[in-house]
Structure 1
Amino acid sequence: MTADVPDLRELLDGAVVVALPLRVRFRGIDEREALLMRGPEGWSEFSPFAEYDDEESAAWLRAAVDFGWSAGPAPRRDRIPVNATVPAVEATRVAEVLARFPGCRTAKVKVAERGQTLADDVARVRAAREVLGPEGRIRVDANGGWNLDEAERAAHELAPFDLEYLEQPCPGVEELAELRARLHDWQLPIAADESVRRAEDPLAVARAGAADLLVVKAQPLGGVRRALDLVAEAGLPAIVSSALDTSIGLSMGAHLAAALPELDYDCGLGTAALLAADVTASPLLPVDGAVEVRRVEPDAELLARHTASPERTAWWHERLARVHERLAG
């Protein structure tokens, strides 16, 4: 074991690679894979998406080690209000999706999906507003899918639905700053996600005045402590979100949200509702619009049922070995 990274054998001891089916297609996948490992503090998760390279995946492994092998910061709350997440489904399916998030009064609606149009986005957001009513909160997430002019046009088209904020409407920090200037009189906040977690300098967006809010995720940012430090240094309100994790990964996000000094926005930690299966008989599902802050123990029978194929397990073990070598080196 190095100063802060356990030996690879220790990480693999008892580790399980799972493949969990999704209820609806999300981020172009129908199944979510994750490598689960057990440390002295409990179970943890390493689940960078398959297309992420080893350099980017290193932060995800650092987060898994931090959560499984180190005691976390003291929680300030034991329940985290969460939003519903609406993938880029047809508008006719929005009510069905929202029904899986009982008590949630905020919906994050995915927009700017490749192969879809702004009209599709408008119809999806309209359907969410019809379900939530005038008191519900709606935020949209473009995952950087619009250019500057497309984002400005979309903001105009979506204005009748009283958006809470736009999440990552454009990919670049300069574009976000210009869009924020163009929308200043509207008082429509801009939230940055990819410009934080996938940036060489995650604080650049804050220094440039390109966002009003930060969306932070424990795994991509290297763990709970590193994410807390980032939020403190940025000096912006934060929303904690997930990367379509298992309930074990969601537990990491819940502990991050619990440790924030202030939590003024519903968090994107209710996504276990999008899984058709999980690794525990007590998943971190929204109850009365919130999830609990607790460690999650997987169920042996569920782990066995959803263990990935030998080929995918070998792929994840090889990936873990390469990424571990980066950290240990």
Structure 2
Amino acid sequence: MTDRKLAQLLAGATPFALPLAKSFRGVTVREGVLLQGPSGFGEFAPFLEYDDAACARWLTSAVEAAYGTWPQAVRDRVPVNAIIPATSPHDAAAMAYRAYVGDGCTTVKVKVAEAGQSLEDDVARVAAVRSAHWSAGVHHPAIRIDANGAWTVAEAVTAIRELDNASGGLEYVEQPCRTLDELAELRTRISVPIAADESIRTANDPIRAARMGAADIIVVKVPPLAGVQLALEVVRAAGVPVVVSGAMDSSVGLAAGVALAAAVDSLPFACGLGTGALLADDLVDAPVRPRHGSLAVTRTAPDPDRLAAAAERLGAERTSWWLDRLARAWHAGACDKAGSWIS
């Protein structure tokens, strides 16, 4: 039975590769597998360093999208932030300006603490983003930073103080330190709110960060939490504000994050779902982009020609690798939950 369901899944699977507009945390091409089922399309695109057990959660999420159901939406639009990679101040300012003028985004997340860069680089980047908003007439932009757990507590205290000044007041800092104990200690030493990201999506107990007082906000991504339904349970159990974020998804895969953001009871912060600008190419003719700073709650099907081109771009060797990875994820645990959706 399990092998038959896996075969059915593979029959509707199309591996793909999409180039990024700029290198993002060392990634230049986004690879994954698009699944087609009776409910629509799901995207299986775990990052390359993830093991089979982690991939099983991502596959469960993709199967839910293609074969299962999502919770009822309570809003028809989702506010989103722009995202600025660890690039030069000039490029950061240009990206922030375009995100406001073109997409209406007045909330910006800036990547900091990139390997090989200094705090001075981060301060200059954040200051450039703030200046770009001022030049566009936005005098009170919401600027948040993401350190991806790179700092010690002592480093975080110093860096956050300087970056808070450069931004004119940070909205929050995302995953400044790696461990929950460090986050909890840091939270007693700074006034800027702390958001936990990696501490949620890579944890065996995703609500522990909120329970132990290590975070003011949780950042939730759908695929690592095995789908929209389970992610919504995590959000409700955590009892703190949530920011729903994407995972460098295509416009097709982004629908899962939008569905979660549309279903949560309260959404006080802009969500990290405006990631379409990171891609140089997409699976659709009209990529999902913010309008007036928000995304419509909708699902998007791939354009057949674009999907075919993205599949050809991946090549035969990588196609085989991804299909094998999908099968390993299925046997690593995805079949337990995802199998119930496949008839």
- TM-score normalised by the chain length of structure 2: 0.92
Deviations 1:11-40 (A, max 9, x none): 111311111111111020111111101111
Q: Is residue 59–residue 219 contact of structure 1 (8 Å, CA) maintained in 2?
A: yes
TM-fit CA distance, 1:159: 2.0
Deviations 1:143-201 (A, max 9, x none): 10111111111111112121000000000000000000011xx3x10000000110121
Q: Is residue 122–residue 157 contact of structure 1 (8 Å, CA) maintained in 2?
A: yes
Cα distance in 2 between the residues matched to 1:111 and 1:245: 21
> Are residues 1:153 and 2:138 paired?
no
Deviations 1:111-166 (A, max 9, x none): 01011111111011001111123311000000101111111111111121210000
> Are residues 1:214 and 2:218 paired?
yes
2:5 aligns with 7
The SS at the match of 1:44 is: strand
Cα 1:100–1:248 shift into 2, 3 Å: farther
Partner residue of 1:282 out of 262, 279, 286? 286
Partner residue of 2:251 out of 247, 250, 264? 247
Paired letter, 2:250: T
Deviations 1:86-107 (A, max 9, x none): 0000111012222443200000
Partner residue of 2:179 out of 172, 183, 187? 172
Cα distance in 2 between the residues matched to 1:83 and 1:145: 22
Cα distance in 1 between the residues matched to 2:55 and 2:304: 27
1:111 aligns with 112
Cα distance in 2 between the residues matched to 1:189 and 1:135: 18
Paired letter, 1:62: T
Q: Is residue 18–residue 33 contact of structure 1 (8 Å, CA) maintained in 2?
A: yes
The SS at the match of 1:163 is: coil
TM-fit CA distance, 1:248: 1.4
Work out the percentage of aligned pairs sharing the same amino acid: 50
Q: Is residue 97–residue 132 contact of structure 2 (8 Å, CA) maintained in 1?
A: no
Deviations 1:26-67 (A, max 9, x none): 020111111101111101100000111111111111111112
Paired letter, 1:205: A
Paired letter, 1:114: A
Q: Is residue 34–residue 246 contact of structure 1 (8 Å, CA) maintained in 2?
A: no
Paired letter, 1:196: I
2:205 aligns with 201
Partner residue of 1:232 out of 220, 229, 236? 236
Cα distance in 1 between the residues matched to 2:8 and 2:299: 20
> Are residues 1:95 and 2:93 paired?
yes
Q: Is residue 94–residue 132 contact of structure 2 (8 Å, CA) maintained in 1?
A: no
Paired letter, 1:66: E
Cα 1:256–1:179 shift into 2, 3 Å: same
Q: Is residue 97–residue 133 contact of structure 2 (8 Å, CA) maintained in 1?
A: no
Cα 1:128–1:135 shift into 2, 3 Å: same
Q: Is residue 153–residue 182 contact of structure 2 (8 Å, CA) maintained in 1?
A: yes
2:340 aligns with none
The SS at the match of 1:59 is: helix
1:50 aligns with 48
Q: Root-mean-square deviation (CA), in Å?
A: 1.3
5+ residue gaps, structure 2, are: 337-343
Paired letter, 1:57: C
Cα distance in 2 between the residues matched to 1:15 and 1:319: 12
The SS at the match of 2:171 is: strand
1:163 aligns with 170
2:341 aligns with none
TM-fit CA distance, 1:309: 0.8
Partner residue of 1:273 out of 258, 274, 277? 277
Cα distance in 2 between the residues matched to 1:24 and 1:191: 25
- TM-score normalised by the chain length of structure 1: 0.96
Cα distance in 2 between the residues matched to 1:48 and 1:300: 23
TM-fit CA distance, 1:77: 1.0
2:140 aligns with 135
Q: Which has the higher helix share?
A: 2
Matches within 5 A, 1:8-47: 8-47=6-45
Q: Is residue 78–residue 258 contact of structure 2 (8 Å, CA) maintained in 1?
A: yes
Deviations 1:192-213 (A, max 9, x none): 0000110121121111100000
1:313 aligns with 319
Paired letter, 2:72: A
Q: Is residue 86–residue 111 contact of structure 2 (8 Å, CA) maintained in 1?
A: yes
Paired letter, 1:285: R
Cα distance in 2 between the residues matched to 1:131 and 1:100: 9
> Are residues 1:297 and 2:292 paired?
no
Q: Is residue 114–residue 147 contact of structure 2 (8 Å, CA) maintained in 1?
A: yes
Q: Is residue 100–residue 273 contact of structure 1 (8 Å, CA) maintained in 2?
A: no
Paired letter, 1:142: A
> Are residues 1:325 and 2:331 paired?
yes
Q: Is residue 239–residue 263 contact of structure 1 (8 Å, CA) maintained in 2?
A: yes
